[in-house]
Every structure is written in C-alpha cells, then in structure tokens.
Structure 1
Amino acid sequence: MDTTAPFFWGSATASYQCEGAWQEGGKAESMWDRYLHENDLENGDVASDHYHRYREDIETMAKGGQNAYRFSLSWPRIIKNREGEVNEEGIAFYNSLIDTCHEFGVEPFVTIYHWDLPQYWEDEGGWLNEETAHAFEHYARVCFDRFGDRVRYWATFNEPKWFVMSGYLIGNYPPALQDPEKCAHAAFNVMYASALGVKAFRAGGYEGSIGIVHSFGPVDGVDDTLETKIAMRFADNYANNWILDTAATGELPIDLLTDLNRRFDLSYITPDKLQALREGTVDFLGLNYYSRVLVRPYTDGETQLVVNNSGSAFKGSQRVVIKGWFEQVLDDPNMQTTEWGTEIYPDGLRRGLIEVTRRYHLPIYITENGIGVAEDVSQGEVQDDYRIAFMKDHIAAIKAAQEAGADVGGYFVWSTFDLYSWKNGCRKRYGLVAVDFENGYTRTPKKSYRWYRDFIAGEQTGKPYQEEGQR
C-alpha cells in the first residue's frame, strides 16, 4: 500500500448504473441488458448518461473538493467476445475518463467488475462455468496493461454477496435462479476469479494495490444466548466471511464448508483452486456499509429471501430466513429505517471496522455509504438534510473506529450523482448531485454536495467544518 497517500474523500458510481450508451462504442450486450429488456423492466440504456458527460461530472467532483472517484469498468465494453478480443473504442473511453480524473486532481479508484457480466458468458453458464473465472483473469490483465500506468487502486469485484445471492438464490437479479447448490458453486467461482485476478496483478509487476469490495453487514444478535451466538456465526458466514476470510487470508471458513459439504457436491473445490485462493489474497478491503445484520435463531420454515425493490409502499415486506441457520430481524419497531426498509445504524460501522481490523490487519476503505430516497429534483436545489445527517453520523463512526486503531484510508459517498439503482430504477436517488432524468439529464448539486465540499475543506485545512449557526 502507498502509505504516503492522502485520505480519500470521494464518491462512487458503477458502469451499468451510470454510463448508458448501451449500444455505443462497440459495447457488447451485458446480462443486465438482456434481462431487463426481456422482462420489460426499467433499464440502464441511458442511465445518467455519464458516457457522454463524464468530463462535466468529474469537474463537478473536483469543484466539490473530492480527491478520488471510485468507478467501475464495463467488461462488455472492453472485451468483445468469448475469444477475448479487445474493443479499442472501449479502451479509448476509459483512457479518456482516467486522464480526465488526473487532469482535475481526482484519484481513479477502479473496480474491475460491478455486476455487468457480458451476455456471451452468461450464455455459457455465467458464474456456474469455471471458464468465466479464467475469462475474468484475461479481462483483468487487459485492464492492468491498458490503464495500470495511471491507476494505483484496483478492486477485483464489487459485492460478490449481492450479485451471487440475488442472482442464484433470491432470484431477483439475473440469471434469476433460486437454487442453493448453484448459489454455492457460483460463489466459489467468483472468489476463485478474484484470486486469479490478484495473482495476475502481482505476476505482472504492476504498481499500486489491489483489493476487493464487500457489502459489509456486521452481525448482531437479539440476545446473548448460546442459540443466538450460533445463529450469529451462521449469519456472519453468510453475510461476510466467505468473502472477507477468503480474500484476506486465502482460506474459506471451514465450518461453512463442512456444512455445505453435507448438502451439496463440492467436488469442484480442488486442491489447485484452494492453492490459488491462498496465493491471491488482497492488499486492502473495500467495505460498502449501509446497515448491520441483526439476527435471531432459526425457528421453522423454508429458506426465504424477500427484498424490497419498490420503496415505501412495500416497507416491512423484506424477509431473510436461511433454513437451519438464522433469521434476520427486519421488523423491529425500534429500528430507524429508510423508506426502502434498510436500518440506519451508524454504530454498526464503528464496531464493524474495529472487528475487521482485529481479524485481518489490512487497510480499509469505505467504498460506499449513502442513503436512497425518492426526491423531487424539479424545484431547484434539493434540501437533503437527511443525507447530510446520515453522512455526518457515519463519518463520526469512522473517526471513532480510527481512534480505536482501524486503518481507514478513504470514504466514498454512494453516489456521485443520481443513477439507475438496479431493480429500484431511477426513483431511488442516492446522489450528491441531482440528475433530471426527464429533462435532458441536467445536473444540479444538492445541499449535501455543498456540505460535503465544505466538510472536506475543513478536513484538509485542519479547521473542522462548522454549521453556519456555529461560526
């Protein structure tokens, strides 16, 4: 790691969620293009039109004091086909985006895979096919070769838990399967692919560091009974350990493997692949934090995972039960939640950072943190004091964790501007900058953008930001 790097105060996006231009620049079809078009769902064909407006967006970040931009590369925009042919138009686009970051003094923090698998690999079985893992290694090498002279911070994958569980177990994301055995297989292949990418980075002698980004949910129990502690361990394996243990230490959780081996055929986990995991451990951990995981012991019923993709009209409809393992508590009346039913719990971040530091002794970046709200952007500047309060509380939690010894090197707000939020469409807005999707995709900074700008200035000058009434 570069110990001389400044603390990164930035924001984040993802290729499918913001770029648009789904048929421009030689881009191949992604699994999300196919899935959303075939199911006649709101899609990211245009999204935030970042493909055409990236210069404006990066300049706005810089004017807001942000010194880093976390974004993802689109595999189908860079690699044309299963044969691995490089799309030079896609390379040119990202070269220009990266160069623009440097022009404005913004560090590119690059995620190689943020869910948009090329459809040509989904046609071959997607993450159930080991060849997809080897194709990822090739794709990663192309990225390192073409951009590595200007990119110092890489992440192999964004949130393996979410795209694997949603795609192969819950069934609300492509490929829309509900099969626990296939979910376990896909999960292993993704972590194997990540290790291959890390090994390729090291073998190539590229400068900088490489990590993985995880959707971090620190686990709490409803009480201190033995049954709850057992449920917490199951929940931690489900929510965190199969990614963090594997990426940071090179070892899969043995109790998780033992339990899965009783149920499923795990013969694809071979000694050579286990060795690759040991040789492909990461330099840092990126943690996306939105909430903790509060659990109670499993009682009865089949595995059930229901998520809220619709907002307030369906608040309270979420349910997570893993048969024999645990039940997630989502209906506690004492919880403060977003309108999508996500608990707002900053102290989980503080305690989680301390625990991750204790377990893995690696540098950490908060690679996503934000709140999604249905907002009216047609009346000028959005007065999003709720977002400011959310950011303040979570930044305070990070500072408290740092005081307790956590090595945190950056904070990235999700998101840089309003974007397409997967199955939630464009109604769920996270941005510091409003995007008017109905009127030319015009950008208008929100109150939170100005607050973040002033807060960053205070951090950089050593003069902590004060509210207007406190000055």
Structure 2
Amino acid sequence: MAVDKGFLWGGATASYQCEGAWDADGKVPSNWDWWLHERELPNADVASDHYHHVLEDIALAKEGGHTAYRFSLSWPRIIKDREGTVNEAGIAFYNKIIDACAEAGIEPFVTVFHWDLPMYWEELGGWTNTQTALAFEHYARVCYEAFGDRVRSWVTINEPKWFTSRGYLVGDYPPFHQNAQEYIQAGFNIMLASALGVKAFREGGFEGSIGIVHSYTPVYGIDDTIESQIAVRYADNFNNNWVLDTAVFGEFPIDLVTELSRTYDLSCMKPEYLRIIKANTVDFLGLNYYSSTDVKAWTEGETTLRFNTSGKGGERGKIMVKGWFEQVYNPHHKFTDWGMEIYPEGLYHGLKKAFDKYHVPLYISENGIGCYEDIVDEPVHDDYRISFLQDHIAAMLDAMDDGVDMRGYFVWSLFDLYSWISGMEKRYGLIGVADDEEHRRVPKDSFTWFKRVIETGGDCIDRSQYKDEPVASPESA
C-alpha cells in the first residue's frame, strides 16, 4: 500500500556541511570555522560548494522526483553581530534556495540551527551561556519573517544531544571540552532556545508547523532483568528523553533531574525559563536514525565516551556512564566503517515506541549510510546504500501499517558533503560530488532507485528482507 500523496520524500543537508563560501557576502565566522582553522583540521571552507551550485542541486532534486528538501539556515550568514544586525546578502541566498524549491514543486523543510554557531557567541561561552539561547529567539524571528510566507515546515534545532555531547562531554567537536557541568548547562540552554524559537513562531502567527530534530537512539536491554531495565531507563534518559520529553511535554525527566542534582549545579534551570519551556512545545518530531543501542547494567569502570572517527572498519566506539549503564554490541549485527550498527528493526520498534509515547506526527529527518567512494564520470554502483535504505524504508512502512503517524522520509544526504570531523571522505549522498575544481555532480545508482521509491509511494519496497542481515558496504563486510 502506497503512502499518502502528501507524504514528503527528499534529501537533507546542513549549511556548514555543504555551502562552502565560508566568508562570502558578509558571512561572519562560525565556531566551526574558527576552531577548525585554529587546530588546522579538515574544514568545510568549500565543502560541496552548494552556495554556487544551488540551482543545479535543486534541479537534480526535481529530476530525482523529490517532493521536499530539508536544509538548514546559517546563523552567522544571517546575523552579523551580537546586536542582531541582519545580513541582507544571507537572506538573499536563502530566498534563492526557497524560490528555486517553489519553482521545482519541492517543499522547503527548514532547520533554523544545525550546529554552526556564530563565533561572536562562542567567544562568550557558546551554549553554556544563557545569552546565546536568548539571542536565538531574535535570530529565529528574523528567519520566520523573511521566509515564513513560503516555508510551512520548520525545525528549531537539529540534534541537541549530538553536538552538545560531542562538544562539551566527549570533546571531539568544537569547543573540544570534556566537562559534564558544561554539557548540562549547554543542553538546558539548547532546549530553552528551542522553546523560544517555538514561542517566536507562535507569536508571529506564521502558518505551518514547527518541531525539533533529534538524533534518535532507541535503547534495548540485553535481557528482562530488573537491572537491565534500570540501565535502559538511564540510557534512554541519556540518549533520548531529555530532548524528546522536554520538546513534547515541556518538562525534563524528573528522575534525570533528581539524579543530576546530586552531583551538579542545576541553577541554570531558572523557574522563568522552565515556564517558557513548558508553554512552548513542538508540533512534530524529526527523528534522525542511524543506529540503535543495546545496554547492560553498569558493573565497574569510569565513564567512557568514545566514537570511531577514523573510518577504519572493525573499530567500535565505547559508551559507558558510571553508575548508569554500559553499551554492548550484538555480535550478529554488521557495522559501517565508522562503527555504526546496521539494524533496521531497531527503527521499526523505535518508531512505534516514540509514537506510542508522544502521539505527535513523526518524520524520519535523516537516514543513510556513510562510505568511502570515488566519484568519477560514471555513477557509483552503491548497491550497499540501496540495500540499507530499502531495509529502513521497509521498517518505516511497517510501522505506518501499525498506526504510526509518519509524515516524511529524508535521506541523508541529497549529495556528498562534509561529514564534520570525518571530512569529505565519509560520503552519504545520493549524488556524488567530485573532488575537482568544478565540484561536478554525479548521480549514483541510489539516486535513480530512490526516484522509483518516490514514484511508487514506497510500493516498490521489498519488506520481506529487512529483518535479515542487510548488505553492508564492501569495506564493512
């Protein structure tokens, strides 16, 4: 049974990861610009050069049958300073994207913030400073007023958990800190900023809906013992609930707050800010799904948070929070070169769990597989990507058959882009971007395959296979 015609199918990108033109037309430095230059790390100064290929990229999305394009706005491209001065050239650039989408019959699905914080706020403590959250309201209001006449689907923040945990706890993203107290403050301020973004949207009377996008990691215990179930609750709070509960219910999980209050300073959670969060909840949830996680009760050892950023097959990350839980790996599952477990059944159960709990419309706002690929004149024969996407779309369709209110599916990514500290080597795109001065676009086999999925409303998807082991990329096998 095909999905409804109003269902959104498309590809996704993010401003810093694809635009390039890092200092063009009045854009000021972001935290990523500054930190990666300072540390001489691979950066996205050029990336996919989307800034100069917008019309070509939207035309390719139309050619591929896409009905929506999920992209993000760049705060440092739109707002020039702490006083809130608007950069009209930045507004013009995003008008160009939105108008091209309208002409192509593609719905813009717009994220206000996808990690590229202006350096002028990073200098004052970034997301650990409540002033950053308060400034977000002005930035969001500028975006709604500039684009709200043509944009109906808005996202406040992309993946609050992911960039705050990596930046303030793990320490491998800007600002490269390892400080649990800062992580807590940053997480709270991010959720306050999201609520302020919802507040500005509602006060402006703009048409459409507004949500938040979360890096969704469904959690499963290794058995049904009480110890495992307690570990699952700890891990769910750590991975999901502090974002999703807060966004939908307007309240942080009380058991998480109680636990943290025993060790950390929670004075950032002022009553007036909690009232803002409670009063401004989202209309929908975007769930970025790459992997689930299995956990067991913590037994011994210190907190360890480590991810595979090398792309060397066989390496596994390690997540263990002292006193809470420990991540374990299923030896029967396959993994990508970057250590991400391939488990579409986790998406099926995770979607059911999320809808049963929150009862709001859901989008899969990102889903894809990163691989090493050489982009030449001929299309990449990425059967491994087709297999991965087919199995996950099948899981989504089964969840829809079981009553989950899904409104859209976005492949990560529309075209190859900069994959944060993994650089341009980790390729996710349906469309390849060549490593040459022209940044030639070369559609892969998955691009043509996904067009067929859209044309049939998913009817061409074989749902009988996804419960078996999916095909991994050649490097992962």
Does the CA-based 8 Å contact 1:28-1:80 persist in structure 2?
yes
Q: How many angstroms does 1:300 deviate by?
A: 1.3
The CA RMSD over aligned residues, in Å, is 1.4
Q: What are the superposed Cα offsets for residues 312-356 of structure 1, whole Å, 9 maximum, x if unpaired?
A: 25x3241111111111114x3222111111000001111111111
Match of 2:471 in 1: none
The alignment partner of 2:151 has SS state of coil
Q: Provide the secondary structure at the position in 2 that maps to 1:131.
A: helix
Alpha-carbon contact 1:64-1:449 (below 8 Å) kept: yes
Matched-pair contact (CA < 8 Å) for 1:454–1:465:
no
Unaligned runs of 5+ in 1: 467-471
- Which residue type is aligned with residue 242 of structure 1? W
Q: Decide whether aligned partners of structure 1 residues 439 and 88 sit closer, same or farther in structure 2, where only a CA change above 3 A counts.
A: closer
Q: What is the identity, as a one-letter code, of the residue corresponding to 1:137? A: E
Do the aligned residues in 1 keep the contact of 2:394 with 2:461 (CA within 8 Å)?
no
Q: Which residue of 2 aligns with 1:374?
A: 372
SS in 2 for 1:312: coil
2:244 is the alignment partner of 1:244: yes
Secondary structure (helix, strand or coil) at the match of 1:320 reads strand
Looking at structure 2, the residues matched to 23 and 243 of structure 1 have their Cα atoms a distance apart, in angstroms, of 32
Counterpart of 1:383 (choices 369, 381, 384) is 381
Q: 1:165 to 1:322 in 2, by over 3 A?
A: same
Give, in whole Å, the separation in 1 of the partners of 2:419 and 2:189: 26
| Cα separation, 1, equivalents of 2:235 and 2:173 | 22
The Cα shift of 1:439 comes to 4.7
Distance across 2 between alignment mates of 1:275 and 1:458: 45
Change (3 A) 1:33 1:185: same
Structure 2, unaligned runs of 5 or more: 463-477
Q: Match for 2:319: what amino acid?
A: V
Deviation at 1:297, TM superposition (A): 0.9
TM-score, normalising length from structure 2? 0.95
> What SS class does the counterpart of residue 263 from structure 1 fall into?
coil
Give the residue type in structure 2 aligned to 1:62: K
User: C-alpha displacement at 1:438, in angstroms?
Assistant: 3.1
Q: What residue is the counterpart of 1:416 in the other structure?
A: 414
- Aligned residues of 2:385 and 2:446 also touching (Cα < 8 A): yes
Q: 1:324-339 counterparts in 2 under 5 A? A: 324-330=323-329, 332-339=330-337
Q: CA deviation at 1:440?
A: 2.1
After superposition, residues 54-453 of structure 1 pair within 5 angstroms as 54-312=54-312, 315-330=314-329, 332-378=330-376, 380-453=378-451
| Structure 2 residue identity aligned to 1:411 | Y
- Matches of 2:189 and 2:359 in 1, distance apart? 25
Q: Give the conservation status (yes or no) of the 8 Å contact 2:375–2:435.
A: no
1:109 aligned partner, one-letter code = F
Alpha-carbon distance between aligned partners in 2 of 1:97 and 1:456, rounded to the nearest angstrom: 22
Match of 1:469 in 2: none
Q: Is the 8 A contact 1:48 1:437 kept in 2?
A: no
Separation in 2, partners of 1:57, 1:176:
33
Deviations 1:113-169 (A, max 9, x none): 000000000001100111000110100000000000000000000000111100100
Cα distance between partner residues in 2 of 1:376 and 1:96:
30
| Secondary structure of the structure 2 residue equivalent to 1:212 | strand
Aligned residue number for residue 8 of structure 1 = 8
Normalising by structure 1, we get a TM-score of 0.96
Say whether the 8 Å CA contact 1:156–1:194 is kept in structure 2: yes
Of 406-415 and 299-308, deviating more is 299-308
Deviations 1:73-103 (A, max 9, x none): 0000000000000000000000111000000
Tell me by how many angstroms 1:459 deviates: 1.8
Contact 1:418–1:431, Cα closer than 8 Å, also in 2:
yes
State the SS of the aligned residue for 1:309: coil
Deviation at 1:14, TM superposition (A): 0.1
Take 1:455 and 1:358, find their aligned partners in 2: how far apart are those partners?
27
The AA in structure 1 aligned to 2:328 is: V
Identity within the alignment, %: 58
Amino acid at match of 2:327: Q
Q: 1:379 to 1:104 in 2, by over 3 A?
A: closer
